[in-house]
Amino acid sequence: MVNVALLQGKKVLVTGAARGLGRDFAQAIAEAGAQVVMADILTDLVQTEAATLQAQGLNVEAVTIDLANADSIELAVQHTVEYLGGIDGLVNCAALATNVGGKSMMDYDADLWDRVMNINVKGTWLVTKACVPYLKQSEAAKVINVASDTALWGAPNLMAYVASKGALLAMTRSMARELGPFNICINTLSPGLTLVEATEYVPQERHDLYLNGRAIQRQQLPQDLNGTALYLLSELSSFVTGQNIPVNGGFVFN
């Protein structure tokens, strides 16, 4: 059961919220009492999902965002601030993750590399940058960058994605130093292979590798990450910053 008071009154922006982990994060955060703006490039789908949650009595709104477009990012953040009246929390979940692997480093497509890095790294930086002026106005702002445990164990045949998530780990540490004086905590959450739309293309042998290699030997579901996300957005983690928390059933340990 979600503690409905844990994030009561908080104002949170979640990117990549139309489906998968972002969609689940948005629902869990709203159920914990926060007002949530769900942002995604999939305009129709994010509007539909927001309407579904609104029908359940949750305080959510949808907005379009394209992490490859700086103007789109600025407009999305402006819309969020207008709707929420500020920002206390940000979950950077949007990423280019589908069909970005399957080839070795020798055969990887250079244009795909650029797209992955542009969206997953530069886009995450630009969203955070656009939110910082408003996060500074919050008493205890929190940011979560959703990385991946692939960067921790060095998953093969997934070069750009792994590199982009590794960059998020390093970028988060640097941001923590710069944002700490404003009492803004920023951390990374690194999921293992999770059963969502974005991982449907992943070969069965990779799923089996995770399943057999975990300390808790079962498939990972989006809900498995919600508790850690809520903790990182709440007052419970107000002295935790610059950290990475792998949530993968014990496939990779810190």
Q: Which residues contact 126 (CB under 8 A, 6 or more apart)?
A: 67, 70, 73
Q: Is there a contact between 72 and 65 (Cβ–Cβ < 8 Å)? A: yes
- 91: closest CA among 150, 157, 45, 39? 39
Q: Is there a contact between 69 and 122 (Cβ–Cβ < 8 Å)? A: no
Q: Which two tokens stand for residue 128?
A: 């955070």
Sheet holding 60-64, edge to edge: 60-64, 35-40, 11-15, 89-92, 142-146, 185-191, 244-247
Task: List the catalytic residue out of 83, 108, 134, 161.
Answer: 161
Establish whether 161 is a catalytic residue: yes
Catalytic site positions: 161
